[in-house]
Chains A and B, each alone.
Chain A
Amino acid sequence: MGEGVFISGLGLISAIGNNVAEAYHHLSNAKTGIGKINHLQTRYKDEYVLGEVKLSNNDLMDFISHHSPLLNRTSLLGIAAAREAVLHSGIDLKDGLRTGLISSTTVAGMCKTELFFNDMIEKNEHLEILDTHDCGESTEEIADYLGVKDYVTTISTACSSAANAIMLGSRMIKHGMLDRVIVGGVDSLSKFTFNGFNTLMILDKEWCKPFDENRKGLNLGEAGAFVVIESESALKKRNGKALAQVMGYANTNDAYHQTASSPDGSGATKAIQLALQMSGLNASQIDYINMHGTGTPNNDLSESKAAINVFGNNVPKFSSTKSFTGHTLAAAAGVEAVISILSILNNKIFPNLNFTTPISEFKLTPVTKVTDAEIKNVLSNSFGFGGNCSSLIFSKV
């Protein structure tokens, strides 16, 4: 059904740099961005590592040349990444084609609310922050900064959010509702999410070790990550250049537990199978899987099982690049879409850092060194609280 959907621009700000070029430099030199805490104001500052964006909020305002006291870190990261994606694609938002923005977030304005909530209650101050707390706010800040008018919406399905933004955007293009869409996600670090994951006891105090037998948990990160997707005809009309094609996607629910993935990986298995089915590709044509790979005992076990369910003894080369960026929650699938497309464009697999011992049940070994290989089709997985499972397939053009 409908037209082909092509990716024409990438934008990323994360722990591995303020733009896609810096991210590529880190990735191809196996250099992580996860480190000591500089910005997040937490009592655990010296105990944990995080994937922080290196710029402060003031630096970010300079970076996007937009200074407004009401802009929170979520909006700032979103603007930085979405702007880069639009500039990279070369689209002109005033050329009369219909452009939408579909963003996703879980933290939204909480990064600021948590700093001033007490003042609101005790001192009656900073009440204007109430209007910037909700998830839609950052999306509208991004839309207004870029001048997107035709369609805006926001998705929040925990750690699979940005994958679903890419999915909805692709569907709207196929249905002929929009000509192109800026899709992705953004989450900034907050005490709220940091302490939340800490109470769940799934944070590793040191660098995370996805798919390692001795993995202890995840490292949280923050990022803004967007890609521009366009219909084939919109791309032709402006003589634009496609970087990759969105070939398949699927969204399923594990319906097993509010925060845990099923041990048999059923939701993830179904998502991967349905995405493959849509793409028309055989399992053997997947050259690389960018795994969700959070580094928690539960996720990596369930995801390994799902990979074996689908690919049997021939699991493609895979890695979790969360060992570079940390787990950036709603933005994660956006970050990993950018990384997957960098793999396709450069015929390189970026490694799974900090891995030494395979999980005993499966003996699956990820790619641990920067590896040159012909990459035509990439599968990218993202799963989240609430049983949300999403898989995307990107292909070379």
Chain B
Amino acid sequence: MTKKAYIIGSGSISPQNTIDENWFFEKINPVHIDFFSALEPSYKEHIAPNMLRRMGRAIKMGVTAANMAVVDAKVQNVDAIISGTGLGCFEDSEKFLLAIINNKEQFLTPTSFIQSTHNTVGSQIALIMKCYDYNFTYVHRGFSFETCVMDALMQMEEGKQTILIGGIEEHTPMYVELLRRSKKFSSNNSHQYYEGKTKGIQMGEGSTFFVLSDTKKNACSCIEGISFSYKPKSTEEILSAITNLLKTHQTSLEKIDVVLMGFSGDQQFDNYLLELLPQVSKTSATAHFKQLCGEYHTAGAFGTWVANKIIEKQNVPEAIKINSLTKSTINTVLIINAYMGINYSFTLLSKC
């Protein structure tokens, strides 16, 4: 594919202060025990009160981040809405399931069932924006958001001009408690994931949306391409996927200015990325992002937000740096993301 997707607007609700549009890693919020909760904005500034009352948290976060991106982009409408979520509207699913169990399938009301559907966020955005066009929701673990990126690039090629994409994930106290009991959490406080000494993951949540355009106007950066690797069996396999992607875009790994890594924080899942790190650190500035947002299916959306900011500000903030290599101009950022050692994705962004 030859078309690029120019980022003309973004909005992020994350455990960091991303709801302040001027925030650039100045003050970092620490992890709360063993999971990150999103810092939520005042929703009533974004959503009509009659709609807000019924919405679950994932829907509120999704609709609001989408609205932030649309406002940032100064567009009235879009040609496609593409959402990604690993678990969907978990709070509503849990509510309806507990009602079924506790009331033995009686006295149920439909609201939480209606909202539990995975495509609720995408369709609520369509309802609010009155967008009658293409509307997709991807729900594949660590590929959920990244498939949105791929689809958007394909849509640009097919003639669409403005596309809204985003990733949404929420956690609930019950889900966090069950994960804690299943001993998936990190037991240490180090966030130097790249040292490969940490075990367990710190769960996170959030919602990040982008407005993508097929024209450069008002954009600082663009997404050039994306590729995937499913259950790779070696670091070489990952490297070859990266090399192929970069070759398609007339570049190579040693020419990449910044490599942004999506370490999960659990060394057993991070081993391939840890093996890759010394190699990419030789020629590129390296940084990582999940110590700021936690691990979740669509954390890559937050990673993309970070990459976009790095290009916009021409600066890799101290809070995310791995090595000390600096570049006078940041022309390219490669995101290497991985979910649980299963879903690997590689996203190339460039300055424009």
A contact residues vs B (CB 8 Å cutoff): 1, 42-44, 105-106, 108, 110, 113-114, 117-118, 120-121, 124, 127-128, 130, 133-137, 139-140, 143-144, 149-158, 164, 168, 171-172, 175, 191-192, 195-196, 198-200, 251-259, 266-267, 270, 384-388
| Subset of 8 A-B contacts with CB under 8 Å | A43-B104, A134-B87, A135-B140, A136-B140, A149-B231, A192-B100, A251-B135, A387-B123
Taking a contact as CB atoms under 8 Å apart, the answer to whether B93 and A110 are in contact is: yes
Q: Which residues of A contact B181 (CB under 8 A)?
A: 120, 124, 127
A387 to B120, CA, bound (A): 10
Choose from B108, B123, B131 the contact partner of A195 (Cβ within 8 Å). B108
Q: Which residues of A contact B1 (CB under 8 A)?
A: 175
Of listed B100, B154, B157, residue having the most chain A CB within 10 A: B100
Does B188 interact with chain A (Cβ within 8 Å)? no
Give the interface segment out of B110-118, B252-260, B303-311: B110-118
Q: How far is the CB of B214 from chain A (nearest CB, A)?
A: 16
Q: Which residues of A contact B185 (CB under 8 A)?
A: none
Q: Which residues of A contact B119 (CB under 8 A)?
A: 156-158, 384-386, 388
Contact digits for B175-203, partner A, Cβ 8 Å, 1 yes 0 no: 00011011000000000000000000000
Choose from A152, A168, A258 the contact partner of B123 (Cβ within 8 Å). A258
Taking a contact as CB atoms under 8 Å apart, the answer to whether B140 and A153 are in contact is: yes
Taking a contact as CB atoms under 8 Å apart, the answer to whether A164 and B136 are in contact is: yes
Known contacts A134-B87, A151-B230, A199-B113; is A253 also within 8 Å of B141 by CB?
Answer: no
B contact residues vs A (CB 8 Å cutoff): 1, 81, 86-88, 93, 96-98, 100-101, 104-106, 108-110, 113-120, 122-124, 126-127, 129-141, 143-144, 147, 151, 154, 157-158, 174, 178-179, 181-182, 228, 230-231, 297, 342-343
Taking a contact as CB atoms under 8 Å apart, the answer to whether A152 and B178 are in contact is: no
Taking a contact as CB atoms under 8 Å apart, the answer to whether B230 and A143 are in contact is: yes
Known contacts A1-B158, A155-B139, A157-B119; is A254 also within 8 Å of B178 by CB?
Answer: no
Q: How far is the CB of B107 from chain A (nearest CB, A)?
A: 10
A248 to B181, CA, bound (A): 49
Q: How far is the CB of B121 from chain A (nearest CB, A)?
A: 9
Q: Which residues of A contact B141 (CB under 8 A)?
A: 134, 136-137, 140
Q: Which residues of A contact B130 (CB under 8 A)?
A: 255
A256 to B130, CA, bound (A): 8
Taking a contact as CB atoms under 8 Å apart, the answer to whether A252 and B134 are in contact is: yes
Closest to A384 in B: B119
Q: Which residues of A contact B147 (CB under 8 A)?
A: 153
Taking a contact as CB atoms under 8 Å apart, the answer to whether B178 and A127 are in contact is: yes
A110 to B101, CA, bound (A): 13
Taking a contact as CB atoms under 8 Å apart, the answer to whether B139 and A135 are in contact is: yes
Q: Which residues of B contact A257 (CB under 8 A)?
A: 127
A150 to B81, CA, bound (A): 26
Q: Which residues of A contact B182 (CB under 8 A)?
A: 127-128, 130
Choose from A1, A251, A254, A387 the contact partner of B136 (Cβ within 8 Å). A251
A135 to B84, CA, bound (A): 12
Taking a contact as CB atoms under 8 Å apart, the answer to whether B117 and A42 are in contact is: no
Choose from A118, A200, A255, A266 the contact partner of B127 (Cβ within 8 Å). A255
Taking a contact as CB atoms under 8 Å apart, the answer to whether A387 and B126 are in contact is: yes
Q: How far is the CB of A81 from chain B (nearest CB, A)?
A: 18
Taking a contact as CB atoms under 8 Å apart, the answer to whether A252 and B132 are in contact is: yes
